[in-house]
């Protein structure tokens, strides 16, 4: 018990009961792991949903034993589409990179004992968990899960069951889950930002923060500002659905012969509110991965990140511009075409900091001494996918071309490559990289490499063909190809993608096996198995409950001092005082 | 080499580097091949606006394609050339001149593309419809397209949602008391004359739908509560498929229609024929 | 010269070198925990205010857009008269809260508690007044779904009112419970930030209502 009234009790001694230690813990490391396992469960469900979708697209008449009636109906397909997208975007891509790894490693990397508000942190996790449970419950209610996509455009989502199955209780549960998730995210981002602003170790100036910390910081700002807007939109949607208001519902609607009594609202208003959130959301999904990749590329090239300041600035630029481009989702929505042009110019501009980051990653590799451990392979893979996905975005950024490609499989290919692959590779890279620190054991390196090769090849095989399907006019969210006649010619591509999807999904079992087996049987890990420079590596694996074992580091140099000329080893940890290294070691003059 | 470093030198450093490089080269080759060989092309364009879209697409393909090839091959080269063979890494922190250079070049390339793309967009969207454009109203609902021609009086009759009744032959809810509606022609397939400007007025009865014809490179959401005009001039006779691209419910995948582009004489005959039937 | 492993280097430095003088503790307090600096709570509240502001700005932009539709069915509503009184009460409560904090800083504890109590009562009166405003709306036949203008009225006042309720809870909590992690100064600072923000926010919302009436 500390006599200092400012010290949180939870970080001076570990709580005793199992419940306090692992369930209702306020320790950011436990909370980070809780988010991680939540995301792992979510991605498993999300992948299974996508496999069902891909199966149905190729064998729509197949008899499925677990479906009442045997054959998947179009509304069931759309429910899969909706839930797959929602679960992946919110409970995997918003959760794992930021809430899981950020919670675990932000305090460690800045030399803090915990997050600023540990109890609020615990509350954020359990709210997220509640949101997940509420979301999944939509599968089990009458009518099933909603069919309006993760974008939930009204009036389809705003009128209840009359517009389609799943639009009754299912859609209501969906909105409730999203609202809960918004609150959890907002509370989480307050924690991240307060911690980064006020709890950095002495000597850790902004320019000595690892790029992971920069990425989590910018992401948290995006979360704070974007989820608030989604929350507002969600409230208005709930009111339209249950309180007969008409924020999004125009007058004169006739649905299946029934005249609706709403009046004067605008479906476009929802789209503006949703995408004002939705676009920053995709940067929330990718920015932490960019930070992790910069971090890992430096570590395993044994070189500083090329252009550290430019990288930090680019993260901020992407974050800022990310709020100005939402209209590129709405070029054909009925929005003013002049606004379309403005959004287009802003959107292509965001390609600039993204390209700068890519060049700097190449620059980090250039002249390096590259070691191909599993985390490095996934980091390199991330760069490849980010190039592909980013460049395919240039087409969509132009409204004239978007007129041809909007809502086709081209878009699906584009966002899967940046989110469903690049961001996921960021998560894999972070997992392989930080597994030793989190669990005190090493993952099996051969299995890791095998997992990488199968996945790298597999996901390119799944998602590259989608672009070609889209260019040829294949439309997204179609339950099968029995509508327009030109779609039949695209089936061979769909078959190829489905097979690739099943093979790649199976390859993930290697990761699961490796992960869970290594938890118990992995080779014991030392404090710093990767010879890394940042603060999380100076403490034990796993760290003690107060992070550094009763003492707290002071930072003396930047985060990526690898291969410093004249040093005896090829890395200089951030915390070592210059005196401790001896006078034979010379350091660069600039403190970053 | 110190004991620390030797503990972490991975075995066979050549092989992941080589594999990565080879893989990236295959990726580039396969992608370039599919595009160059036009294995899955869009159908040929049938209007001037569509041709402009294709030109902008091609230009973007060159720029993005070049960037794709250079970046992926650059990555392949970097990982192979700088694999750990016992060398010392160079402690390069960055290069300000290079940063400025590539920022400027990408800015020019991307914003340049965006500005050049304006014309294709402007041609289709900023230009008001020609004064002699044929106006056709397109009504979407779950899950059909219904097309209405104003008839010889050139005026559309008033619509009343409470009169909507598809089973009794009034799917659009035309008010029988409005004389302008008496000659309206309501059909389920879109027929237009070749080489004549057409203005479609898109509307929706229930949820957000979409009208997309690949050959026209024309796509527009139909939003309930709005009447949205789109213009085109079809220059090739034929029948083209109309599809809905905005998720509109369980029948979304089956919501499609047909666009018939016919000679002027056929179009006149169509109007005459339909006027008798209505 | 160190040819030893990095772990040995860590061990050697682990004692701490020169004691550090940082924002978290004095140089002697090595075994201690830097803890959470008081200003962190203020940062947290500023951020929370930012998030809440963004939420209300989303509602405002929805309001602006909805009002501006051509051929709109927008009917401006007559504002319940009590809103003027409520506004005065809420602004007054900000003044009394500032008075309370000022007394605390000057060491006049009893005065501080007195004004803190007045603030809480004024806050509660504000909420009561808002509910009365709703009753006046009901009496005029204006409910949530009556027309777009009334819809926004209820959404804004309910959202703001719920936040004020939270503020009253915070006022009560600080009054009755000695916070362990925050000093009294910090706790009052944080609550004051929140409360003044809600007053300013109400002025913006009220101004919007007046604009369109």
For residue A542, whether the previous peptide bond is cis, meaning omega lies within 30 degrees of 0, is: yes
Chains A–B, number of C-beta pairs less than 8 Å apart: 351
Chain A residues whose beta carbon lies within 8 Å of the beta carbon of residue C39? 198
Q: Give residue A2's pLDDT band: very low, low, confident or very high (50, 70, 90).
A: very low
Task: Work out how many domains chain A is built from and give that number.
Answer: 1
Note whether A175 and A234 are within 8 A (CB).
yes
Distance of CA A239 to the CA centre of its chain: 30
- ipTM of this complex: 0.94
Instruction: Answer whether B47 touches A (CB < 8 Å).
Output: no
Task: Give the per-residue pLDDT at A486.
Answer: 97
Alpha carbon of B228: minimum distance to chain C alpha carbons (Å)? 14
Torsion angle, alpha carbons of A133, A137, A139, A140, to 10: 140
Chain C residues whose beta carbon lies within 8 Å of the beta carbon of residue B3? 5
**Residue A378 has which token pair?**
């996934």
Alpha carbon of B265: minimum distance to chain A alpha carbons (Å)? 28
**Residue A19 has which token pair?**
């419940």
For residue A267, whether the previous peptide bond is cis, meaning omega lies within 30 degrees of 0, is: no
Note whether A514 and A163 are within 8 A (CB).
no
**Would A5 be classed as within a structural domain?**
no
Q: Where are the beta strands (DSSP E) in A155-312?
A: 254-255, 258-259
Tell me which residue of A339, A464, A442 sits closest to A392, measured CA to CA: A464
| pTM of the predicted structure, to 2 decimals | 0.93
* Spatial separation of the C-alpha atoms in residues A430 and A446, rounded to whole Å: 17
Residues A192-220 have a mean pLDDT of 97
Instruction: Please judge whether A355 and B102 are an interchain contact, meaning their C-beta atoms are less than 8 angstroms apart.
Output: yes
Chain A residues whose beta carbon lies within 8 Å of the beta carbon of residue B57? 395, 401, 404
Q: Identify which of B34, B40, B223 has the shortest CB distance to residue A334.
A: B223
> Which of A193, A247, A586 is best to mutate for the C interface (most C CBs within 10 A)?
A247
Q: What is the DSSP string of chain C?
A: ---S-HHHHHHHHHT-SSPP--SSS-TT-SSS-----HHHHHHHHHHHHHHHHHHHHHHHHHHHHHHT-TT----PPPPPTHHHHHHHHHHHHHHHHHHHHHHHHTT-HHHHHHHHHHHHHHHHHHHHHHHHHHHHHHHTT--TTT-HHHHHHHHHHHHHHHHHHHHHHHHHHHHHS--SSS-HHHHHHHHHHHHHHHHHHHHHHHHHHHHH-
**Would A144 be classed as within a structural domain?**
yes
Domain ranges of chain C: 39-67+80-212
Chain A residues whose beta carbon lies within 8 Å of the beta carbon of residue C43? 116, 193-194, 197-198
* Spatial separation of the C-alpha atoms in residues A9 and B142, rounded to whole Å: 60
Chain C residues whose beta carbon lies within 8 Å of the beta carbon of residue B2? 3
Q: Identify which of B113, B210, B251 has the shortest CB distance to residue A348.
A: B113
Torsion angle, alpha carbons of B34, B36, B42, B47, to 10: 170
Note whether A360 and B78 are within 8 A (CB).
no
Instruction: Please judge whether A362 and B39 are an interchain contact, meaning their C-beta atoms are less than 8 angstroms apart.
Output: no
Alpha carbon of C36: minimum distance to chain A alpha carbons (Å)? 6
Note whether C126 and C133 are within 8 A (CB).
no
**Domain boundaries, position A159:** 28-251+262-586
* Spatial separation of the C-alpha atoms in residues A150 and A476, rounded to whole Å: 13
Chain B residues whose beta carbon lies within 8 Å of the beta carbon of residue A333? 221, 223
Chain A residues whose beta carbon lies within 8 Å of the beta carbon of residue C40? 116, 194-195, 197-199
Instruction: Please judge whether A400 and B117 are an interchain contact, meaning their C-beta atoms are less than 8 angstroms apart.
Output: yes
Residues B136-147 have a mean pLDDT of 96
Instruction: Please judge whether A582 and C25 are an interchain contact, meaning their C-beta atoms are less than 8 angstroms apart.
Output: no
Q: Which residue of B has its CA nearest to A147?
A: B249
Q: B3-40 pLDDT, tens per residue?
A: 444 444 444 445 899 999 999 999 999 999 999 999 99
> Which of A475, A570, A590 is best to mutate for the B interface (most B CBs within 10 A)?
A475
Task: Give the per-residue pLDDT at C21.
Answer: 35
With vertex at residue A585, the alpha carbon angle to CA A581 and CA A591, rounded to the nearest 5 degrees, is 85
Percent of chain A with pLDDT over 90: 89
Chain A residues whose beta carbon lies within 8 Å of the beta carbon of residue C180? 5
Residues A239-247 have a mean pLDDT of 95
Kind and range of the H or E run holding A169:
helix A169-198
* Spatial separation of the C-alpha atoms in residues A363 and A297, rounded to whole Å: 10
Instruction: Please judge whether C6 and B3 are an interchain contact, meaning their C-beta atoms are less than 8 angstroms apart.
Output: no
Instruction: Please judge whether A264 and C74 are an interchain contact, meaning their C-beta atoms are less than 8 angstroms apart.
Output: yes
**Would A2 be classed as within a structural domain?**
no
> Which of A234, A237, A245, A553 is best to mutate for the C interface (most C CBs within 10 A)?
A245
* Spatial separation of the C-alpha atoms in residues A32 and A435, rounded to whole Å: 13
Instruction: Please judge whether A198 and C31 are an interchain contact, meaning their C-beta atoms are less than 8 angstroms apart.
Output: no
Q: What is the CATH number of domain C39-67+80-212?
A: 1.20.120.80
Residues A454-467 have a mean pLDDT of 98
Task: Give the per-residue pLDDT at B11.
Answer: 47
**Would A7 be classed as within a structural domain?**
no
Indicate which CATH number applies to the domain containing A373.
1.20.210.10
Kind and range of the H or E run holding B38:
none
List chains touching A (3+ CB pairs under 8 A). Answer: B, C
Chain A residues whose beta carbon lies within 8 Å of the beta carbon of residue C181? 5-6, 8
Q: Identify which of A164, A308, A453 has the shortest CB distance to residue B250.
A: A164
Alpha carbon of B96: minimum distance to chain C alpha carbons (Å)? 33
Instruction: Please judge whether B106 and A356 are an interchain contact, meaning their C-beta atoms are less than 8 angstroms apart.
Output: yes
Strand partners of residue A475: A408
Task: Give the per-residue pLDDT at A580.
Answer: 64
Tally of residues, chain B: 278
Q: B56-79 pLDDT, tens per residue?
A: 999 999 999 999 999 999 999 999
Instruction: Please judge whether A372 and B208 are an interchain contact, meaning their C-beta atoms are less than 8 angstroms apart.
Output: no
Chain B residues whose beta carbon lies within 8 Å of the beta carbon of residue C3? 2
Chain A residues whose beta carbon lies within 8 Å of the beta carbon of residue B146? none
Alpha carbon of C22: minimum distance to chain A alpha carbons (Å)? 6
- Whether A294 shows a pLDDT value over 80: the answer reads yes
**Residue A520 has which token pair?**
């118990």
Task: Give the per-residue pLDDT at A69.
Answer: 80
Q: Provide residues of C within 8 Å CB-CB of chain B.
A: 3, 5-6
Q: Which residue of A has its CA nearest to C28?
A: A551
Kind and range of the H or E run holding B34:
helix B14-36
Q: Identify which of A253, A345, A366 has the shortest CB distance to residue B114.
A: A345
Task: Give the per-residue pLDDT at C72.
Answer: 67
Note whether A233 and A277 are within 8 A (CB).
yes
- Residues in Cβ contact with C70 at an 8 Å cutoff, skipping those fewer than 6 apart: none
Q: What is the DSSP string of A11-36?
A: GTS---SHIIIIIS---HHHHHHHHH
Counting DSSP H helices and E strands in chain A, the numbers are 16, 2
Chain A residues whose beta carbon lies within 8 Å of the beta carbon of residue C155? 235-236, 239
Q: Provide residues of B within 8 Å CB-CB of chain C.
A: 2-4
**Would A454 be classed as within a structural domain?**
yes
* Spatial separation of the C-alpha atoms in residues A522 and A541, rounded to whole Å: 13
Q: In what order do the strands lie in the sheet with B134-141?
A: B185-187, B144-149, B134-141, B197-204, B228-233
**Which range in B166-175, B232-241, C176-185 is most confidently predicted, on average pLDDT?**
B232-241
Tens digits of pLDDT across chain C (213 residues): 333 344 444 344 433 333 333 333 333 333 347 788 999 999 999 999 999 999 999 999 999 988 887 766 788 888 999 999 999 999 999 999 999 999 999 999 999 999 999 999 999 999 999 999 999 999 999 999 998 899 999 999 999 999 999 999 999 999 988 778 889 999 999 999 999 999 999 999 999 999 887
**Would A1 be classed as within a structural domain?**
no
**Would A8 be classed as within a structural domain?**
no
Note whether A433 and A442 are within 8 A (CB).
no
Tell me which residue of C147, C149, C198 sits closest to C171, measured CA to CA: C198
- Residues in Cβ contact with A216 at an 8 Å cutoff, skipping those fewer than 6 apart: A98, A102, A106, A192, A196, A288, A291
Chain A residues whose beta carbon lies within 8 Å of the beta carbon of residue C73? 251, 263-264
Instruction: Please judge whether A6 and C66 are an interchain contact, meaning their C-beta atoms are less than 8 angstroms apart.
Output: no
- Whether A41 shows a pLDDT value over 90: the answer reads yes
Instruction: Please judge whether A387 and B68 are an interchain contact, meaning their C-beta atoms are less than 8 angstroms apart.
Output: yes
**Residue A491 has which token pair?**
């089936």
Chain B residues whose beta carbon lies within 8 Å of the beta carbon of residue A484? 241, 243, 256
Note whether C49 and C200 are within 8 A (CB).
no
Chains A–C, number of C-beta pairs less than 8 Å apart: 184
Chains B–C, number of C-beta pairs less than 8 Å apart: 4
* Spatial separation of the C-alpha atoms in residues B170 and B173, rounded to whole Å: 5
Kind and range of the H or E run holding A206:
none
**Would A559 be classed as within a structural domain?**
yes
- Residues in Cβ contact with B260 at an 8 Å cutoff, skipping those fewer than 6 apart: B189, B190, B191, B192, B238, B239
Task: Give the per-residue pLDDT at A266.
Answer: 92
Measured over the CA atoms of residue B235, residue B236, residue B239 and residue B241, the dihedral's sign is: negative
Alpha carbon of C172: minimum distance to chain A alpha carbons (Å)? 20
* Spatial separation of the C-alpha atoms in residues C15 and C25, rounded to whole Å: 16
Q: Give residue B166's pLDDT band: very low, low, confident or very high (50, 70, 90).
A: confident
Residues A563-567 have a mean pLDDT of 92
């Amino acid at each position: 018990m500390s006599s200092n009234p400012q010290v949180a009790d939870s970080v001076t001694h570990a709580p005793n009961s199992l419940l306090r230690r692992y369930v209702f813990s306020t320790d950011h490391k436990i909370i980070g792991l809780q988010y991680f396992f939540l995301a792992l469960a979510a991605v498993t469900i999300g992948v299974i949903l996508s496999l069902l979708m891909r199966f149905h697209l190729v064998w729509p008449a197949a008899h499925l034993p677990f479906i009442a009636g045997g054959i998947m109906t179009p509304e069931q397909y759309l429910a899969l589409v909706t839930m797959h997208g929602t679960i992946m975007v919110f409970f995997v891509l918003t959760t794992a990179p930021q809430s899981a790894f950020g919670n675990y490693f932000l305090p460690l990397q800045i030399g803090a004992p915990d997050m600023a508000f540990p109890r609020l942190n615990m509350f954020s996790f359990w709210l997220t968990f509640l949101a997940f449970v509420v979301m999944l419950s939509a599968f089990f209610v009458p009518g099933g899960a909603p069919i309006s996509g993760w974008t939930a455009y009204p009036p389809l989502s705003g009128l209840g069951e009359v517009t389609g199955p799943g639009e009754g209780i299912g859609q209501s549960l969906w909105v409730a889950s999203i609202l809960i998730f918004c609150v959890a995210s907002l509370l989480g981002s307050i924690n991240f930002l307060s911690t980064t602003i006020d709890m950095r170790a002495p000597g850790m100036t902004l320019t000595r923060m690892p790029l992971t910390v920069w990425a989590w910081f910018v992401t948290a700002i995006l979360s704070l500002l974007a989820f608030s807007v989604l929350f507002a939109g969600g409230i208005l949607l709930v009111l339209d659905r249950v309180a007969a208001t008409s924020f999004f519902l125009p007058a004169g609607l006739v649905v299946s012969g029934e005249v609706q009594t709403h009046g004067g609202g605008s479906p476009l208003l929802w789209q503006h509110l949703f995408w004002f959130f939705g676009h920053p959301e995709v940067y929330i999904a990718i920015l932490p991965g960019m930070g992790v990749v910069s971090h890992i590329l430096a570590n395993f090239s044994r070189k500083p990140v090329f252009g550290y300041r430019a990288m930090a600035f680019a993260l901020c630029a992407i974050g800022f511009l990310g709020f100005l481009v939402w209209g590129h989702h709405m070029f054909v929505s009925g929005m003013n075409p002049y606004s379309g042009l403005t959004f287009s110019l802003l959107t292509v501009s965001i390609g600039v900091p993204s390209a700068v980051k890519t060049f700097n990653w190449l620059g980090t590799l250039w002249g390096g001494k590259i070691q191909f451990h599993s985390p490095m392979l996934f980091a390199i893979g991330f760069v490849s996918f980010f190039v592909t996905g980013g460049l395919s975005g240039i087409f969509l950024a132009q409204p004239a071309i978007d007129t041809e490609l909007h809502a086709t499989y081209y878009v699906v290919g584009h966002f899967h490559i940046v989110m469903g692959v690049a961001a996921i590779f960021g998560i894999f890279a972070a997992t392989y990289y930080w597994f030793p620190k989190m669990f005190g054991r090493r993952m099996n390196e051969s299995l890791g490499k095998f997992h990488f090769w199968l996945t790298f090849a597999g996901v390119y095989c799944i998602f590259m063909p989608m672009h070609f399907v889209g260019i040829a006019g294949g439309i997204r969210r179609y339950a099968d190809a029995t509508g327009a006649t030109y779609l039949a010619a695209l089936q061979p591509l769909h078959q190829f993608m489905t097979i690739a999807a099943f093979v790649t999904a199976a390859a993930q079992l290697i990761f699961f096996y490796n992960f869970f087996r290594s938890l118990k049987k992995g080779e014991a890990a030392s404090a710093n198995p990767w010879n890394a420079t940042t603060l999380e590596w100076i403490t034990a694996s796993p760290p003690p409950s107060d992070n550094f074992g009763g003492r707290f580091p002071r930072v003396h140099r930047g985060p990526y001092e690898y291969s410093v000329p004249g040093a005896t080893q090829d890395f200089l940890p951030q915390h070592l005082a210059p005196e401790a290294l001896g006078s034979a070691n010379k350091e660069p003059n600039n403190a970053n | 080499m110190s004991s620390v470093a030797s503990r972490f030198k991975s075995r066979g450093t050549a092989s992941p580097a080589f594999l990565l490089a080879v893989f990236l080269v295959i990726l580039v080759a396969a992608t370039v091949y599919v595009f160059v060989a036009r294995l899955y092309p869009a159908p040929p364009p049938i209007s001037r606006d569509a041709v402009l879209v294709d030109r902008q697409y091609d230009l973007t393909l060159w720029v993005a394609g070049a960037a794709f090839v250079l970046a992926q091959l650059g990555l392949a080269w970097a990982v192979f050339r700088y694999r750990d063979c016992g060398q010392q890494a160079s402690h390069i922190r960055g290069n300000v001149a290079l940063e400025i250079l590539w920022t400027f070049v990408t800015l020019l390339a991307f914003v340049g593309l965006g500005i050049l793309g304006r014309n294709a967009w402007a041609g289709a969207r900023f230009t008001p419809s020609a004064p002699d454009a044929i106006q056709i109203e397109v009504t979407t609902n779950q899950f059909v397209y219904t097309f209405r021609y104003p008839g010889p009086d050139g005026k559309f009759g008033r619509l009343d949602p409470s009169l909507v009744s598809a089973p009794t032959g009034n799917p659009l809810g035309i008010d029988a008391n409005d004389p302008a509606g008496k000659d309206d022609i309501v059909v389920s397939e879109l027929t237009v004359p070749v080489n004549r400007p057409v203005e479609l007025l898109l509307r929706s009865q229930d949820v957000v739908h979409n009208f997309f014809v690949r050959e026209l490179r024309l796509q527009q959401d139909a939003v309930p509560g709005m009447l949205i005009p789109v213009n085109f001039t079809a220059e090739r006779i034929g029948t083209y498929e109309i599809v809905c691209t905005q998720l509109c419910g369980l029948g979304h995948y089956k919501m499609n229609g047909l666009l018939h582009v016919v000679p002027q004489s056929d179009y006149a005959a169509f109007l005459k024929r339909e006027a008798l039937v209505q | 010269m160190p040819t030893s492993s990095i772990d040995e280097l860590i061990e050697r430095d682990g004692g701490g070198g020169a004691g550090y003088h940082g924002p978290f503790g004095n140089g002697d307090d090595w075994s201690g925990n830097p803890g959470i600096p008081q200003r962190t709570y203020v940062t947290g509240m500023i951020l929370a205010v930012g998030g809440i502001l963004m939420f209300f700005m989303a509602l405002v932009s929805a309001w602006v857009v909805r009002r501006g539709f051509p051929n709109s069915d927008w009917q401006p509503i007559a504002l319940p008269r009590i809103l003027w009184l409520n506004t005065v009460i809420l602004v007054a409560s900000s003044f009394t809260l500032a008075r309370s904090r000022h007394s605390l800083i000057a060491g006049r504890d009893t005065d501080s508690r007195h004004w803190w109590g007045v603030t809480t009562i004024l806050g509660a009166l504000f909420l009561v007044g808002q509910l009365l405003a709703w009753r006046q709306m009901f009496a005029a036949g204006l409910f949530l779904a009556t027309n777009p203008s009334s819809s926004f009225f209820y959404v804004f006042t309910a959202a703001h009112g719920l936040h004020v309720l939270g503020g009253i809870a915070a006022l009560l909590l600080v009054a009755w419970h000695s916070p362990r992690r925050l000093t009294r100064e910090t706790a009052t600072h944080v609550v004051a930030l929140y409360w003044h923000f809600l007053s300013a926010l109400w002025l913006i919302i009220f101004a919007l209502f007046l604009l369109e009436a």
